[in-house]
């Protein structure tokens, strides 16, 4: 987990190549997994580390932390990388899971008024259909 916290991409790759369990809980106060930690801790290599973790089929909908957030929620709140958020959604992250406060990843993106984050939360098919849609159209699709 230390390699993820510090954004040491090469160390993460070596650990994964040697069978590190991406779903192992850290035993920290958040009881975090590797993916949850990577989406919660912005580093210069966060996006690359997350992509490496996604190759190992982590639990995308694991709930960690005192807030009960998923990795997708953390990515929206902390990483704010539209490409990574889109990859999480494409791999199967559920945009409708609610945390302990009843909020979803969509709710977090809407409060930030970031059209790109909202767009990234759409399915791949919906993103293709609305490449040039206005933020209001994206919000309408998210609330269907």
DSSP 63: -
Q: How far apart are the first and last CA of the chain?
A: 38
**Burial class for 63, CB neighbours closer than 10 Å (0-12, 13-18, 19+):** middle
Residues 6+ apart with CB under 8 A from 128: none
The fold of 2-142 is 1.25.40
pLDDT (tens place) for every residue of the chain, 144 residues total: 889 999 999 999 999 999 999 999 988 888 899 999 999 999 999 999 999 999 999 999 999 999 999 999 999 999 999 999 999 999 999 999 999 999 999 999 999 888 889 989 988 888 777 765 566 666 676 776
Structural element, H or E, at residue 108? helix 105-111
pTM over 0.85: yes
């Amino acid at each position: 987990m230390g390699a993820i916290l510090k954004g040491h991409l090469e160390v993460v790759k070596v650990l994964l190549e040697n069978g590190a369990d991406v779903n192992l809980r850290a035993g920290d106060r958040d009881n975090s997994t590797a993916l949850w930690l990577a989406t919660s801790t912005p580093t210069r290599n966060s996006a690359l580390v997350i992509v490496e973790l996604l190759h190992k089929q982590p639990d995308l909908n694991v709930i960690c932390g005192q807030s009960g957030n998923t990795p997708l929620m953390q990515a929206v709140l902390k990483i704010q990388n539209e490409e990574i958020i889109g990859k999480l959604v494409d791999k199967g992250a559920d945009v409708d899971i609610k945390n302990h406060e009843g909020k979803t990843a969509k709710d977090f993106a809407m409060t930030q008024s970031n059209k790109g984050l909202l767009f990234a939360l759409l399915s791949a098919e919906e993103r293709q259909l609305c490449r040039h849609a206005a933020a209001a159209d994206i919000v309408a699709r998210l609330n269907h």
